[in-house]
Amino acid sequence: MLFVEKKDGCWLWKGKLHGRDHDYGYFRISNGRTGVRDILSHRWAYEYYKGPIPSGLSIDHLCSVRNCVNPEHLEAVTTAENNRRSVARGRHR
């Protein structure tokens, strides 16, 4: 994979980054005549390796590295659980 560096268990996305802290990887795909669409790299990796993300769930980075796309570090959880884990890890108040 051109934009991934496998390092210390994490697979780091080396392409474009965005988000509040510019730490979520993404790429753009053409949507035909309707323009382009941004795809978050960790969500793409989860779906590619593990299957569809269940409705209503978000993807938690178990390693706390937001540009990690290692499917073993990604888990589908509720937004409430993702936020709870984020607070427990000291990422949010």
Q: Stretch 12-23: mean pLDDT, rounded?
A: 84
pLDDT tens string 20-65: 767 899 998 887 777 888 899 999 999 999 999 999 999 999 999 9
Cα–Cα dist 56/11, whole Å: 25
pLDDT band at 18 (very low <50, low <70, confident <90, very high): confident
pLDDT of residue 19: 72
Residue ranges of alpha helices (H) inside the chain are: 41-50, 79-88
Please report the domains of the chain, with CATH numbers, ordered by start residue: 4-88 (3.90.75.20)
User: What is the number of other CB atoms lying within 10 angstroms of the CB of residue 88?
Assistant: 9
Q: Could you say which DSSP state residue 35 is in?
A: -
pTM of the predicted model as reported, rounded to 2 decimal places: 0.85
Length of the chain: 93
| Amino acid (one-letter) located at 45 | A
